[in-house]
């Protein structure tokens, strides 16, 4: 049985329209097939992962190799550093991470903990800025890193920026594995928590993503109140961690998020607040 890596974010009806470019979608599927667990794959492995015929995948790989996005070593294919251009062009157009960097640095220095900013992309949050103070997770978190949104404080903040109908559609028909014994993994429980986050204006997670880690996150909003990113501080979980998060860290994170929003508004006075930073 084949397994496609496509998120299926487009409406099914659009994929049947004359505006849908199937070859482009398939090429992106091939690029997204590679990940930390599969940095190199054979033609057969890629074809199985994306659910396409070997002949189709072969043509896509040859094109991507010609364009410099894919390399080949014997019969194994891998992504080249040129694929980073796609992400960096997005960040350059976004410019929010650049505006936020000095303010996040000041926050990290103030609370002496790592600080991150992310946006929602499909099922995941994607880190667009990070100021590390110390390593708090087993995973190495850098710009471009992805984490499952349902278990992350920033993910819940970003979901809370959407209405219930959107969140329910996001949850529908999906499995949410428990990453630790503390992870909220039932869709109904996740929805209740997202509603709570929307009401209180912040998300706090405790050992849901990884044992020994807690995190607090708040939204970064544009001038109309639309959530354009999430800002968080993560720290090791220990006795008194929750109290420190609520009493010391959360107020500082809120002040920084407001300062980032103000800087964004000054740089983008015509922002329409469509849920994404305007370009």
Q: pLDDT tens digits for 12-27? A: 677 788 888 989 999 9
Residue 10, pLDDT score: 53
- Domain with 21, as residue range(s), is 12-79
Which 3 state secondary structure label does DSSP give 3? coil
Query: Exposed, middle or buried, 161 (CB in 10 Å: 0-12/13-18/19+)?
Result: buried
Q: Do 248 and 227 reside in the same domain of the chain?
A: yes
C-alpha to C-alpha distance for 108 and 102, rounded to whole angstroms: 10
Q: Do 69 and 106 reside in the same domain of the chain?
A: no
DSSP state of 239: T
C-alpha to C-alpha distance for 37 and 228, rounded to whole angstroms: 30
Residue ranges of the chain with per-residue pLDDT less than 50 = 1-9, 272-279
C-alpha to C-alpha distance for 74 and 249, rounded to whole angstroms: 51
C-alpha to C-alpha distance for 33 and 40, rounded to whole angstroms: 10
Is residue 194 a contact partner of residue 74, using CB atoms and an 8 Å limit?
Answer: no
Residue 3, pLDDT score: 42
Q: Using the 3D structure, point to which of 79, 101, 118 is the last residue of a domain.
A: 79
Q: Do 33 and 90 reside in the same domain of the chain?
A: no
Q: Do 238 and 152 reside in the same domain of the chain?
A: yes
* pTM score above 0.85: no
The pLDDT tens digits for 239-267 are 898 999 999 999 999 999 999 888 887 77
Q: Do 72 and 126 reside in the same domain of the chain?
A: no
Domain count, the chain: 2
278 token code pair: 């305007």
Q: Using the 3D structure, point to which of 41, 60, 79 is the last residue of a domain.
A: 79
Q: Do 128 and 28 reside in the same domain of the chain?
A: no
Q: Do 91 and 221 reside in the same domain of the chain?
A: yes
């Amino acid at each position: 049985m084949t397994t496609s890596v496509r998120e299926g974010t487009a409406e099914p009806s659009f994929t049947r329209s004359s505006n849908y470019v199937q070859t482009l979608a398939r090429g992106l599927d091939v690029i997204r097939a590679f990940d930390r667990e599969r940095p190199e794959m054979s033609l057969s492995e890629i074809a199985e992962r994306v659910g396409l015929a070997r002949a189709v995948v072969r043509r896509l790989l040859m094109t991507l190799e010609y364009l410099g996005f894919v390399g080949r070593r014997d019969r194994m294919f891998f992504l080249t550093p040129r694929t980073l251009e796609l992400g960096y062009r997005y960040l350059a157009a976004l410019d929010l991470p650049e505006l936020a960097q000095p303010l996040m640095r000041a926050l990290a220095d103030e609370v002496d903990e790592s600080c991150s900013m992310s946006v929602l992309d499909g099922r995941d949050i994607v880190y667009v800025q990070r100021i590390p103070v110390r390593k708090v997770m087993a995973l190495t978190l850098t710009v471009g890193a992805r984490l499952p949104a349902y278990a992350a404080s920033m993910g819940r903040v970003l979901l809370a920026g959407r209405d219930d109908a959107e969140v329910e559609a996001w949850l529908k028909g999906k499995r949410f594995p428990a990453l630790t014994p503390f992870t909220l993994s039932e869709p109904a429980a996740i929805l209740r928590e997202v509603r709570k986050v929307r009401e209180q204006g912040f998300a706090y997670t405790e050992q849901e993503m990884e044992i020994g880690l807690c995190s607090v996150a708040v939204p970064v909003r544009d001038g109309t109140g639309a959530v354009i990113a999430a800002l968080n501080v993560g720290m090791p979980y220990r006795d008194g961690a929750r109290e420190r998060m609520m009493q010391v860290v959360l107020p500082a994170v809120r002040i920084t998020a407001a300062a980032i929003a103000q800087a964004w508004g000054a740089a983008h006075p015509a922002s329409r607040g469509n849920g994404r930073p305007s370009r």
